[in-house]
A and B are shown apart, each in its own frame.
Chain A
Amino acid sequence: MEESTIELARRGDRNALATILREFQDVWYRMSLGLLRDAELARDATQETALRVMKQLPAFRGESQLRTWSLGIAINVCREIRRRDRPVDGLRLVGMRQEEDGPMGEAEMAESRGRIREMLTELPERQREAVMLRFFEELSVEEAAEAMQCAPGTVKATIHQALKAMKKKFEVKQ
């Protein structure tokens, strides 16, 4: 993302804002989908993230990447939605939608998705956020810490605990 585009967007230029939203819509959506496990909720979260990014963009000082900063906003939105919809969160996992499906073979994908997603879903919220930022969005530990608004050491410890729990469950299911 070019600095000039960000600067124009900060001043309220609609074309620049549209460029930023199109650039990051997939990032925000897949992060929301990974955390919320519901396509409709993820879409709502993505739109809310876009609105907040537009609102808070004048306060963005450019000390970090716009992607990292906006992912932090997306995580906050997802936390709010999870808090709001906590009672039905477990039920939503049963009916995961076909539109989330990727390009892999159906059987292989279902198996892979079943294992990893199930393990991810069973993780505590913070561990899931850390794993998704670090391994799925490929952020550095420092960037993940900034998005999660915590210290890098906390992210490392959280990821360590998450991987340990996931490996344990993976070996049991083997």
Chain B
Amino acid sequence: MSEFREEIERARKEHQEVRYPGDLGAEVLNGQSMRLGYGTKPPRHWLFWTSIGSLGAMAATVAIVMWRVQPAGVPCAEPLQAVAFQPRAAEDFSIVPELAGAKLVPSGGDVVPSEGGETAYTMPAMPSFPSMDDAMKSAGSDPKKSSNS
């Protein structure tokens, strides 16, 4: 065996003597191994519930303070009088409300303006433009000849 092989063999034996310094099963299964930073982190349920509890306690304290302390100089409102319930007839619940003194449809004129009436609008006719032939004739040239040449 060459010296190089002997060195490799010696390094192999040394390598296989290495032991893990501890009990991996106990460390990992008891959750003591979150040291790398990118591994799975335990969810922080306690933080969530502590925050919820704190916010609830603060809200309750504020509510109690506002309830107990009344502003000075503001008289207490008079107690409301009870109003007896009066059942109404079915016709009182019509869909179209009827306003007193007002009509839903205006009177004294047509809703749609009649033809020829004062309110009828007429569109003016479109202005006429000379055709290209007329324009060329008035300029003294034949458009067909000029296009062929």
Contact = CB atoms under 8 A, between A and B. Distances in A.
Interface of A: 14, 17-19, 21-22, 25-26, 28-30, 33-34, 39, 43-44, 46-48, 50-51, 54-55, 80-81, 99-100, 102-104, 109, 112-113, 115-117, 120, 132, 135-136, 138, 166-167, 170, 174
A102 B39 CA distance: 31
Contacts of B33: 47-48, 50-51
Contacts of A81: 36
A54 B28 contact: yes
29 contacts: A14-B29, A17-B29, A18-B25, A25-B20, A26-B20, A33-B18, A34-B15, A39-B21, A43-B20, A47-B24, A47-B27, A47-B33, A48-B33, A80-B38, A100-B18, A102-B13, A102-B17, A103-B17, A112-B10, A112-B11, A113-B11, A113-B14, A115-B7, A116-B8, A120-B11, A135-B8, A136-B12, A136-B15, A170-B7
Interface of B: 3-4, 7-8, 10-29, 33, 35-36, 38-40
A22 B19 contact: no
Contact of A117 (B11, B24, B26): B11
Given A18-B29, A102-B14, A48 B7 contact: no
A30 B36 contact: no
Contacts of B28: 21, 47, 50-51, 54
A99 B21 contact: yes
Specify the main secondary structure of chain A where it touches its partner: helix
Contacts, number: 97
A45 B11 CA distance: 22
A29 B19 contact: yes
A99 B22 CA distance: 13
Given A48-B36, A51-B39, A51-B40, A29 B10 contact: no
